[in-house]
Amino acid sequence: MINRSLRGQAITKARVTIGLAVYNGSNYLRQAIDSILAQTFTDFELIISDNASTDGTREICLEYAGRDERIRYHRNPANIGGANNENQTFRMAQSEYFRLAAHDDYLASTLLEKCVAVLDARPEVILAYPHTVEIDAEGCVTNVKDLRKGMAARASDRFRELAFNDHHCEPTYGLVRADVMRRTRLQQNYTGSDRVLLCELALYGPFHEIAEPLFYKRYHQANAYLDWRSRISWFNPTWRGRISVPHWQQFFDFITTIQRVHLPLSERLRCYGTLAHWLALYGRRMIKDLIVAGYMLLHTRRWRERKAITNWELQ
């Protein structure tokens, strides 16, 4: 089957699409791309969506796109926000399998090969991900995570495994069946929406964790944030200083997710039971959302913008 690349060249449709959303990522971008191009599984395309970067990101992307026909480079005329840019890479994909990537992470060379093997061999599995190796700004290993999330037999148990804040949503960077992903609403524009997306995917089928450390997730100053409200400008730069209630948004999005996925009544009720437990754990944070929102309403938009943490404008 023939597809048309963003550069106007005819290419064979790949089995896997990797969507790399980036904004001002010249510091680590080369390592990320090199690790993707070094994959032992080669039947993939790499879609890079540049969110109107102002550093050397564009030049790096054009250099690599000129060398490898598997790379499709797109540049947004303006910054559309981090989650929207990630969603855009998926909407541009036409492959059987999809994987999200970040400019500051990198992959072991066999990651795609082993994830594809799982999805090919087990049609009931809708997402495959490996152990995550956490690294710092210099690339030094700080932790290796064996999550064991999303693998339960029952949909409601998978929902429970993923709904709470005891993980950093690492399976978001797993290899997923694109036809299942298209049934979801993708990421929404609020902090914590990636967790709800994982829960929605898990209601459609089990995940599989590969017991090997193949994904290197970098944590550094530029991708850290102090609280959920401070991250809002990452979703949309024009929202800096906007009043938000992220825990309320996540709670109602969980309800929407449970309602929109076809489940037996017993499973749906079990999911609502998990949500009741979620409320018991995070109800105080929801109250804090309202208190902070009320406090912010007492001040001008300009004051709120000055108070906003800007780290997450990087992507």
Question: Quick check: 315 pLDDT over 50?
Answer: no
- List, for residues 292-312, the tens digit of each pLDDT value: 889 888 888 777 777 665 443
Q: What's the pLDDT band for 10 if we cut at 50, 70, 90? A: very low
Domain boundaries for CATH 3.90.550.10 within the chain = 1-103
The reported pTM is: 0.90
The residue-averaged pLDDT of 160-177 equals: 97
Cα(301)–Cα(241) distance, integer angstroms: 6
| CA 124 – CA 140 distance, rounded (Å) | 36
Q: What is the pLDDT of residue 313?
A: 41
Question: Residue 298 is encoded by which pair of tokens?
Answer: 């007492």
In the beta sheet, which residues pair with residue 101? 20
pLDDT in tens, 239-262: 677 788 989 999 999 999 999 999
Q: How far apart are CA 309 and CA 232, in angstroms?
A: 9
What mean pLDDT is predicted for residues 139-152? 96
What tokens were used for 152? Answer: 């339960």
d(CA 70, CA 171): 24
Give yes or no for residue 284 having a pLDDT over 80.
yes
**Residue 107 bridge partners (DSSP):** 215
| pLDDT score at 308 | 60
Least Cα distance to 119 among 106, 129, 109 occurs for 129
The answer to whether 214 and 146 are in contact (CB under 8 A) is no
- Asked if 44 and 14 touch (Cβ cutoff 8 Å), the reply is yes
For residues 87 and 98, give the distance between their C-alpha atoms in angstroms, rounded to a whole number: 11
CATH class belonging to 1-103: alpha beta
Give tens-digit pLDDT for 180-236. Answer: 999 999 999 888 899 999 999 999 999 999 999 999 999 987 776 656 666 666 676
